[in-house]
Structure 1
Amino acid sequence: MPRISINAIECVQNNKSFIITSMNSSILKKMCFVSRKKDDAIKGFQRLLNVKRAKDIALYLDNLKGIIPSAIIVSAQDNTKMRFDKQSSKLSFETSQDGLLVIDGQHRLFGLIEAKGEYDMPVVIFNNLKSSEEVKLFIDINTTQKGVPTALILDIKNQAGTETKLEERQRELFEKLNTDSVLAGYLLKNESKAGKISRTVFNNSTKSIFTNSPVSEMGDDIIYKTVKNYLEAVDVIFKESRNKDARLNKTILFKSVMNLFNEVCEKCLIKYKNLKVESFIDYIGSIRDLNFNEYTGTNKATENRIVNDMRSLLREPLQVGEDMF
């Protein structure tokens, strides 16, 4: 196998060293491999690849001419016979297949594999690690060294000029509701916190309002007033239930009531010909009878259960009369 030499620098932290360098994607494609739990139930430790994410990275590089400054972190295997010369700052190794175990950055790696072009990538290389040390490093990077919260990314997209029109409309609705609605002060725009509704949760919960709700074709002011009235009605009902767990700023309940927004609006327009607070209260009043103490989970299954229980209470019996035959 050919042996190559490239420029590199050594970095030492807490008496542990690693090498920082730049490698062409053609070399990375040949040498890198990922240890997956599915492939090796005993030694595998990384999650399965999200193919769409890898393809998106390839498109980002090839079509959008994007850049990826984040380093791929790898562990050199014995077959690379890796050596670093401090005097010359040269890193030499054999370009062995399966010579570099990816500790972090597998989607960036497979994005490079999917890409048509060749790209230089920053790489952090650990050498002479035991298998247990590789696993520990993987765990440390994916727990202690957390990435940027999605809510913060959404918050700064406007500054970067990458905010979509839908995200812009959702941001404006978010800011209005956080200023003048029953959720004022309970919407947190760039982080997640108990007792607050994050921007990420808000965007996921309001997307359909702008795409296929009864008010989606109306102006943003009408959408704001409708959502404000709906939330005020839900807040009234929750307070009437006298249940301490019935709170709009409880994420699972917020997601659940927003899941019902479109159909409740449609029913109110048919039954009352308006979207006033009192009409919403009259229509959804029966949900006050739910025992909100029973909903202890925070996952999708719990949300579906709450939505189904609410929907069952809101279902009106069909009226069948003799004059219908």
Structure 2
Amino acid sequence: MSENVKFKCLECTQNEKTFYVSVLPNDVLKAVCFVSRRDDDSEKGFQRMLNESRARDIARHLDDLKGVIPSALILSAQDNAKFHIDQTKSEISFFTAKNSFMVLDGQHRLYGLLKSTKKYVIPVIIFNKLNTNQEVNLFIDINTTQRGVPTTLLLDIKNMSGRESKKEERQRQLFDRLNTDSVLAGLLSPSKSQVGKITRVSFNQSTNDIFESGFFEDKDNDIIFKGVKNYLEASERVLKLSKSEKAKLTNATFFRSLFAIFHEVVDKTLKEHSDLKIESISNVLEPISKLNFDSYTGTGNATFNKVVSDMRKELNEYERRYSNITGEHLF
């Protein structure tokens, strides 16, 4: 059963549009809020689907990590809220009716609060008496003019916050060394996306397994640096052999693909040459130079999986072709 609740507020007007700033507890928000999702209502819905994992992460950020969520939810009061402003008391009141406040911005923060096990309060901005057209336009304005901080920048400054994991620290150090002393010197972009450069985000995704498994798992930073540096130079040589215009290490899809086969190439090089010199790695990688890298289009997972599959096919085909040849058949 709904009840009438009251909260202190501040009134704010911008370009003749008035809204109210208040602080509401998560149990009240749970009772009144709803999201108009496009997938649920193709005619009237306009929000994206909820990412459950992201909402759980926010709840954990609050409950387990003792974090804070200072940014406000943006809500639109519906008719059944019976939203009222008492300007003499700087106070808003409304009924806690189901679906009485539409969430225009902050659905993941809201659901993170709802999944949390404790009671919290959060800032809210409330618009009143908006029609559907105004709600949609406000949603579009919020999501086109208010952009979040790029993930690349957040990753670049994470070490300054004291929240960088040991692996992230090692990846950062490897990235920085390669950006000054390797075939990718100056071609790695630490804090923003740039055409023709590999971002720190792409680099970390690509090199993630190096520190967790395979030959380099228990090696120190210097050995990992030398191994990856040689691998990159050998890869560049082989890509040039392909004569494909797109075959560059700075192509994010090919960069990821080369590191997807990294462990296999390292193991094969050690087995056949007992070292990880540039010439030895180049010899093992050479079969992938037969690929027409210009034929791959797109930047999604489908293209990435196709490139990796084709690379492995060439490596394995080469091995099958010559593994059965013995000395007596050579001459």
- TM exceeds 0.5? yes
Aligned to 2:226: 225
- SS of the aligned residue for 1:21 comes to strand
What is the CA distance between 1:312 and its match in structure 2? 1.5
Closer, same or farther in 2 for the Cα pair 1:175/1:245, shift >3 Å? same
* Structure 1: stretches of 5+ with no match in the other structure: none
What is the CA distance between 1:50 and its match in structure 2? 2.0
Please, which of 310, 320, 323 is the counterpart of residue 317 of structure 1?
320
TM (normalized to structure 2)?
0.92
Which amino acid counterpart does residue 91 of structure 2 have in structure 1? K
The answer on 1:97 being equivalent to 2:98 is yes
Per-residue CA deviations over 1:173-197 (Å, capped at 9, x if unaligned) read 1101111011111111111121111
Closer, same or farther in 2 for the Cα pair 1:23/1:307, shift >3 Å? same
Which amino acid counterpart does residue 43 of structure 2 have in structure 1? I
Aligned to 2:241: 240
* Structure 2: stretches of 5+ with no match in the other structure: none
Which amino acid counterpart does residue 293 of structure 1 have in structure 2? D
Separation in 1, partners of 2:289, 2:145:
42
Query: What percent of counterpart residues are identical?
Result: 49
Aligned to 2:115: 114
Aligned to 1:198: 199
Separation in 2, partners of 1:262, 1:88:
68
The answer on 1:58 being equivalent to 2:62 is no
| Number of positions where the alignment pairs a residue of Structure 1 with one of Structure 2 | 323
Which amino acid counterpart does residue 53 of structure 1 have in structure 2? R
Separation in 1, partners of 2:223, 2:325:
38
Per-residue CA deviations over 1:255-302 (Å, capped at 9, x if unaligned) read 111111111111111111111100111111122222221112110111
Aligned to 2:167: 166
What is the CA distance between 1:24 and its match in structure 2? 1.1
Separation in 2, partners of 1:321, 1:147:
58
- SS of the aligned residue for 1:212 comes to coil
Counting only pairs closer than 5 Å after superposition, residues 35-46 of structure 1 correspond to structure 2 as 35-46=36-47
Farther off after superposition, 57-66 or 265-274: 57-66
Which amino acid counterpart does residue 231 of structure 2 have in structure 1? Y
Which amino acid counterpart does residue 178 of structure 1 have in structure 2? N
Aligned to 1:267: 268
Aligned to 2:130: 129
- SS of the aligned residue for 1:64 comes to coil
Farther off after superposition, 308-317 or 88-97: 88-97
Farther off after superposition, 241-250 or 214-223: 241-250
Aligned to 1:146: 147
Superposition misfits of 4+ residues, deviation over 6 angstroms: none
Farther off after superposition, 301-310 or 89-98: 89-98
Aligned to 1:81: 82
Separation in 1, partners of 2:144, 2:203:
25
Separation in 2, partners of 1:302, 1:256:
10
Separation in 1, partners of 2:214, 2:150:
29
Separation in 2, partners of 1:65, 1:164:
18
- SS of the aligned residue for 1:317 comes to helix
What is the CA distance between 1:136 and its match in structure 2? 2.6
Aligned to 1:290: 291
Separation in 1, partners of 2:54, 2:239:
40
Which amino acid counterpart does residue 133 of structure 2 have in structure 1? S
- SS of the aligned residue for 1:304 comes to helix
Which amino acid counterpart does residue 73 of structure 2 have in structure 1? I
Per-residue CA deviations over 1:72-120 (Å, capped at 9, x if unaligned) read 1111111112123444322222222211111111111111111121111
Which amino acid counterpart does residue 129 of structure 1 have in structure 2? L
Farther off after superposition, 246-255 or 234-243: 234-243
Aligned to 2:187: 186
Separation in 2, partners of 1:283, 1:236:
12
Per-residue CA deviations over 1:3-31 (Å, capped at 9, x if unaligned) read 22221112222332221111111111111
TM (normalized to structure 1)?
0.94
